[in-house]
């Protein structure tokens, strides 16, 4: 059935991206549209986005918190998805990161910025802005849009709501005073509402009030119901377990496909992997590493934060630097990790190439050039880089958590026999475990026939959005049904 879906996100590729959420918000709407759904995307009009737009058409106006707000209409580049931008100069028209000021600390007015974003979303969701479009489902993502389901439930009739958790570690926690300063409906306060240990929690808006909750992999959906991964919200998630599910992310195969990727020196496919070697030799030269085809490259493209297993990598460094390999890291994040890695890269320039920063072109080139991908995350809601790696025949070394557990199949006799093996599992969050898995992978790499089989296995499955988009459409129907019971 054709439904109208308002998809709300704080980032979407290619307009603005800080992490995996942008990749999802930039590609799931198109997959839904291709399955006959009427989808509109809603984003804040950050300066970065405004700078990219050639024309800015104002289609509606509203105001909240004493601020004038314009709704701009555009199309998500590379798609036909209608995109509305919440344009409020004071809140969003500033340089830099959507969430962080230059010093790496959250913008001090984040609560107000994303409350204003949510209030405007509610105007649209209730068709009160004159846009003549009434969604059946409002799909919110992460804390930045989590107030929307809460606010919508304060109206007698409203669209169904779905809330997707992309990362439980980011919850949008502010002081209780902030809740009252924002003039939010008093009925939303309290431990069964937006209060969390005397503080104000944005993410609880999605977790308590949405009709359906999902997260981005089936394993992470189970993990967040446990104390270890639930950040104190596990009892609430247990309570809502009947409405909680996991849907693995797909990938945008127009952007991530070694057969067509225009950023590569040479395209290749699972049946013709010769081009992959060409990419490797060019990258080694470009990064000033010794140009040697027989030495495996192990890559990492990531935010440099604890979640991504940086500590176990740094602990393993003394031994890693003695192994026959080259490590290529592209990323940015916490300064102490950047500096520690830089120290190692300066000491071992022939072994470790470190590029600090964010570089999409290089990310594609590294995925194509590398032999293995390092992802020893302590937790991983879905993870996209292991999916890109699998498609590029770059075998992941990954922890068995979250979406990694759902997509990376360890190499052993059983999985080799049924052709499902596609990588190597790091079983513990320790340097020893990482090194032992890496040594197994290096040994396997010596058997090039076996390695090719693993690459073939990794590159074979369809990892596009199609199957997950159908699961979302099913979830929307369930949310509509649950919402209808309210009336
Ligand atoms: P997370 O959302 O936790 O950061 P994901 O694996 O889900 O992790 O998604 C990260 C996305 O950001 C991927 O598309 C990855 O390629 C990209 N990315 C991360 N760091 C960089 C970087 N320094 N340069 C280019 N792309 C990056």
Phi, psi values for residue 73, rounded to 5°: -115, 135
Residue 79 is assigned to a structural domain of this protein: yes
In short, whether 170's Cβ falls inside 6 Å of ligand 1 is no
Report percent pLDDT > 70 for the chain: 100
- Do the bridges between strand 326-333 and strand 160-165 make them parallel or antiparallel, or are there none, so unpaired? unpaired
Q: If DSSP states are collapsed to H, E and C, what string results for 223-236?
A: HCCCHHHHCCCHHH
Same domain, 383 and 412: yes
E strand or H helix at 112, and its extent? helix 110-125
Confidence grade of residue 485 (pLDDT, cut at 50, 70, 90): confident
Rounded CA separation 267/12 (Å): 26
Cα 252 to middle of ligand 1, angstroms: 14
Residue 486 has pLDDT above 80, yes or no: no
Q: Which of the two residues, 236 and 486, has the higher pLDDT score? A: 236
In short, whether 127's Cβ falls inside 6 Å of ligand 1 is no
pLDDT for residue 74: 97
Same domain, 368 and 410: yes
Residue 8 has pLDDT above 70, yes or no: yes
CATH of the domain at 450: 3.40.50.2000
Place of tokens 């992959």: 276
Digit-coded pLDDT (tens) for 77-122: 999 999 999 999 999 999 989 999 988 899 999 999 999 999 999 9
Region 421-438: what's the mean pLDDT?
98
Region 415-420: what's the mean pLDDT?
97
Residue 320 is assigned to a structural domain of this protein: yes
pLDDT for residue 54: 85
Domain range for 377 is: 274-459
User: What's the total number of domains in the chain?
Assistant: 2
By C-alpha distance, which of 379, 221, 228, 217 is closest to 306?
379
Same domain, 342 and 441: yes
Which residue among 10, 17, 20, 463 is best mutated to probe the pocket of ligand 1, counting the most ligand atoms within 8 A of its Cβ? 20
pTM score: 0.94
Digit-coded pLDDT (tens) for 457-483: 999 999 999 999 999 999 999 999 999
Same domain, 447 and 355: yes
Same domain, 77 and 137: yes
Cα 41 to middle of ligand 1, angstroms: 21
Which residue among 360, 384, 394 is best mutated to probe the pocket of ligand 1, counting the most ligand atoms within 8 A of its Cβ? 384
Cα 339 to middle of ligand 1, angstroms: 20
* Torsion from C-alpha of 238, 239, 242, 243, nearest 10 degrees: -100
Confidence grade of residue 259 (pLDDT, cut at 50, 70, 90): very high
Rounded CA separation 294/52 (Å): 43
Confidence grade of residue 487 (pLDDT, cut at 50, 70, 90): low
E strand or H helix at 372, and its extent? strand 372-375
Question: Two tokens at 431?
Answer: 């340097």
Rounded CA separation 113/115 (Å): 6
E strand or H helix at 85, and its extent? strand 82-87
Give CA separation, 471 vs 189, 246, 251, in Å.
Answer: 33, 10, 15
Question: Two tokens at 307?
Answer: 């979640």
Residue 253 has pLDDT above 70, yes or no: yes
Region 271-299: what's the mean pLDDT?
97
Residue 202 is assigned to a structural domain of this protein: yes
């Amino acid at each position: 059935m054709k439904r109208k879906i308002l998809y709300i996100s704080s980032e979407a590729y290619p307009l603005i991206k800080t992490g995996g959420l942008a990749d999802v918000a930039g590609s799931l709407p198109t997959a839904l549209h291709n399955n006959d759904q009427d989808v509109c995307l809603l984003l804040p009009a950050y300066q970065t986005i405004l700078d990219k737009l050639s024309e800015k058409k104002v289609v509606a106006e509203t105001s909240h918190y004493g601020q004038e707000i314009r709704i701009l209409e555009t199309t998500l580049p590379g798609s036909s998805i209608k995109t509305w931008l919440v344009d409020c100069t004071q809140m969003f028209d500033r340089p830099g990161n959507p969430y962080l000021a230059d010093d790496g600390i959250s913008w001090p007015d984040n609560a107000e910025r994303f409350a204003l974003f949510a209030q405007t979303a509610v105007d649209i969701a209730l068709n009160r802005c004159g846009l003549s479009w009434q969604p059946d489902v409002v799909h919110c993502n992460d804390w930045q849009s989590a107030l929307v389901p809460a606010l919508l439930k304060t109206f007698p009739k409203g669209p169904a709501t779905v809330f997707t958790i992309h990362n439980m570690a980011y919850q949008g926690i502010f002081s209780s005073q902030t809740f009252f300063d924002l003039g939010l409906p008093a009925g939303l306060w309290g431990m069964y509402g937006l209060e969390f240990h005397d503080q104000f929690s944005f993410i609880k808006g999605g977790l308590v009030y949405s009709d359906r909750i999902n997260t981005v992999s089936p394993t992470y959906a189970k993990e967040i119901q446990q104390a270890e991964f639930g950040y104190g919200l596990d009892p609430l998630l247990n309570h809502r377990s009947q409405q909680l599910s996991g849907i693995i992310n797909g990938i945008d195969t127009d952007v991530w496909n070694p057969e067509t990727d225009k950023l590569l020196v040479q395209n290749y496919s699972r049946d013709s992997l010769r081009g992959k070697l060409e990419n490797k030799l060019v990258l080694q030269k470009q990064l000033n590493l010794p140009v040697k085809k027989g030495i495996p490259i192990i890559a990492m493209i990531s935010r440099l934060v604890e979640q991504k297993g940086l500590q176990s990598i740094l602990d393993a460094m003394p031994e890693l630097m003695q192994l026959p390999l080259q490590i290529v890291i592209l990323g940015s994040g916490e300064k102490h990790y950047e500096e520690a890695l830089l120290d190692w890269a300066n000491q071992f320039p022939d072994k470790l190439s470190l590029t600090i920063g964010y570089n999409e072109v290089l990310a594609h080139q590294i995925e194509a050039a590398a032999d293995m991908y390092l992802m020893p995350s302590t937790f991983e809601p879905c993870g996209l880089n292991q999916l890109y790696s699998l498609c590029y025949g770059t075998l992941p070394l990954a922890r068995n958590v979250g979406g990694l557990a759902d997509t990376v199949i360890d190499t052993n006799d059983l999985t080799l026999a049924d052709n499902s093996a596609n990588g190597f599992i790091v079983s513990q969050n320790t340097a020893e475990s990482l090194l032992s898995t890496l040594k197994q992978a290096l040994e396997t790499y010596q058997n090039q026939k076996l390695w090719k089989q693993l690459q073939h296995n990794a590159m074979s499955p369809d990892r596009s959005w199609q199957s997950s988009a159908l699961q979302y459409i099913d979830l929307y129907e369930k949310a509509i049904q649950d919402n209808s019971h309210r009336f």
